[in-house]
Structure 1
Amino acid sequence: MLLVAAGVFAQGLSTIGFINSLISIATSFGSASIILMLVLVVLTMLAAMTTGSGNAPFTPSLR
């Protein structure tokens, strides 16, 4: 079910042109695309932390 939702989400991003615009922004930045990559990594990390994905911090062995 999660894979289907991810596929629909990715297709939606492609349909609205988000992926193409992100690629064009990265190519226009040139060497500053590393900064864009780091921003996206931080954004992904924050999304994972706020949505609670990953259960390693909550396993009984770490308490």
Structure 2
Amino acid sequence: MKIARILDQDHDTFGLEYEDTRGAKNTMRLDALTYGKAIREAKSFLGIDEDNRDADGNQWEVE
């Protein structure tokens, strides 16, 4: 299972931390004003479907 974390950042913004296929940690800023929108944006960016799986079939947990 892969894990993506939504991070609270300064000025009411959110970030995303996740591991790529090589195991390297990546972070990015999300353009979302609420936690719910941040989760949706993260899932969209990572290609996670409604069953929490990406195109390669990997299971994800977004927290």
- Fold match by TM threshold 0.5: no
Higher relative contact order (CA 8 A, sep 6+): 2
Larger Rg: 1
- Structure whose residues are more often strand by fraction: 2
Query: TM-score, normalized by length of structure 1?
Result: 0.26
- Structure whose residues are more often helix by fraction: 1
